[in-house]
Chains A and B, each alone.
Chain A
Amino acid sequence: MRARQIVTIARFTLLEALRIRLWGLFAVIVVLAFGAAWFMQQLAIAESARIETAFLAAAIRLAAVFVLSLHVLTSVVREFHDKGLELVLSFDVRRGDYILGRLLGFLLVATAIALLATLPQFALSSAPAALQWGLSLACELAIMSALSLFCIVTFTQLMPAASFVFGFYLLARTLTAIRLMDAAPLTGVGTPSHQVMSWLVEGLALVIPALDRYTQSAWLVDYAAPWATSAILAAQAALYIVLLGAATMFDFQRRNL
């Protein structure tokens, strides 16, 4: 019974993405990114294919994260405003099951977007490299959909939730480089301020996934990653989704509706 409720909520989440033409919107973005990448390829006098592939992959990756995160945020905000949440919870549905259903639905949406994003890569790169890139993007999008759900349930307002999500994403993509900079500073080694900053940066690295390791365009243009890397990234993503899901449920259980 509970599993059926979760699946039903997930199905309606997926249906919503279909009704608001999310796939069409993303397909248009992919075509635009293709056009921009082709333009860059035309400008290049060497390694044109390399530049085209790398630019297309980076642009589609960023667009996929942006579109998916905004979709999750606006979908839940709309439900808050339309009192759909109260309607669902007036039935015999547990709060935790509602979150699980929504999370499952958004994970399916993330997978579908990753699939759409990966299709053009097959045309420009080898099949194993494109597959690894696509799997990694699916993991990255899954993390971002879980994070977006957590933020909107916690903040309930679009602006702070969106700011947090995109700030988090930016930090997760740059944290490794920041840690490297922190490990070898030009001045101020050993000063209290540097020590505090180091603790802060290393502390953040403990709770934020290193998204710069995911979905690397180098896999498409230079070398395919070992499959073990894909497995490690998938395991890390699964762990983080469980963490975010638990945090979302924690917040949602404490909410007075």
Chain B
Amino acid sequence: MIARDERPLAAVPRKVWFVLLAALAAQIAWQALRPQPVASAAVLTPLPSLPALRVLAGGEPIALAGTLTLYLQAFDDQPGISIPFRDLDYRPVIQWLTTLLELDPGTQYPLLLAAQVYSQVPDPQRVRAMLDFVHTEFLRDPDRRWRWLAHACILAKHRLHDDALALAYARDIARLAPAAPDWAKQMQIFILEDLGEVESAKILLGGLLAGGQIKDEHEIHFLLERLKAMETAEKSSPASKN
């Protein structure tokens, strides 16, 4: 224990006591009389430019990008108010996501937010904006970002029912991302099949099997079965819808 060398409380002049207690009472009264805070939605303002952010980061771009990402993630849930995604202006959101990726190119988080969070909005235009963002960012680093475009491909097909867009995304994965796994590269085959373009699907599938890119026996067996099913379906009907 530290020895306290203090005078007793009685040594404090009455005037000081009075001023202290009066100030405390006034402070409490002031706070009590203040109106209750009203929640108001703040608008997402654009991020400063990348060079300015690099200065602000002071050599810690990853920590700054992480903090800003969490801020953006929580932006729809402001104190006392929750903003639905459909009311959120997606232009600054996309500007934030793009800048965060530029600030920390190693992160996948902004792509996850775009593909899994912001694209869940029931507004096709906003979903398309997010998918377009994912596609643009995929083109900058296909081998590391293919999985988000694969997710975008599924969203385009099942949420937007835009098979052409889904096929374009699937083709880009197969063409530009050699590091992507086989299932991602094969997506275009099944989309083509669903589009009724069984012949194109068969050519692609046959090419994949003949090219020796697939090593796993179970996968080869599955794809061969799929090829047979396509041929059978083609013989019995014009196009398979399965």
Interface string of B90-108 (1 = CB under 8 A from A): 0000000000000000111
Quick one: which of B55, B57, B62 has the most chain A CB within 10 A? B62
Give the size range of A's interface with the partner: 20 to 34
Known: A181-B55, A211-B59, A217-B60. Contact between A43 and B108, CB under 8 A? Answer: no
A14 at the interface (CB under 8 A from B): no
Known: A46-B108, A46-B112, A218-B106. Contact between A40 and B66, CB under 8 A? Answer: yes
B67 at the interface (CB under 8 A from A): yes
Closest partner residue, chain B, to A176 (CB atom):
B59
**Contact in complex: A173, B107 (CB < 8 Å):** no
Would you give the shortest CB distance from A230 to chain B, in whole angstroms? 16
Interface string of A33-68 (1 = CB under 8 A from B): 000000010011111001100110111010000000
A89 at the interface (CB under 8 A from B): no
**Contact in complex: A47, B62 (CB < 8 Å):** no
**Contact in complex: A212, B107 (CB < 8 Å):** no
Would you give the shortest CB distance from B83 to chain A, in whole angstroms? 17
Closest partner residue, chain B, to A220 (CB atom):
B62
Pair count A-B, CB < 8 A: 77
What A residues does B74 contact at CB under 8 A? 43
What A residues does B66 contact at CB under 8 A? 40, 44, 47, 50-51, 54-55
B63 CB contact (under 8 Å) in A45, A55, A213: A55
**Contact in complex: A57, B107 (CB < 8 Å):** no
Interface string of B198-214 (1 = CB under 8 A from A): 00000000000000000
Residue total for B at the interface (Cβ-Cβ under 8 A): 23
What A residues does B55 contact at CB under 8 A? 174, 177-178, 181
**Contact in complex: A180, B109 (CB < 8 Å):** no
What B residues does A54 contact at CB under 8 A? 60, 62-63, 66
A216 at the interface (CB under 8 A from B): yes
**Contact in complex: B51, A181 (CB < 8 Å):** yes
**Contact in complex: A40, B60 (CB < 8 Å):** no
What B residues does A181 contact at CB under 8 A? 51-52, 55
Would you give the shortest CB distance from B1 to chain A, in whole angstroms? 15
Closest partner residue, chain B, to A47 (CB atom):
B109
**Which residues of B from 64 to 94 have beta carbons under 8 Å from A?**
66-67, 69-70, 73-74
State the 5 A-B residue pairs at the shortest beta-carbon distance, nearest first. Answer: A212-B59, A58-B63, A173-B58, A177-B54, A51-B66
Please report A residues at the B interface, Cβ cutoff 8 Å. 40, 43-47, 50-51, 54-55, 57-59, 61, 170, 173-174, 176-178, 180-181, 211-218, 221-222
Other 6 A-B pairs with CB < 8 A, given A51-B69, A54-B66, A55-B66: A44-B70, A44-B109, A50-B66, A54-B62, A216-B60, A217-B60
Please report B residues at the A interface, Cβ cutoff 8 Å. 51-52, 54-55, 57-63, 66-67, 69-70, 73-74, 106-109, 112, 117
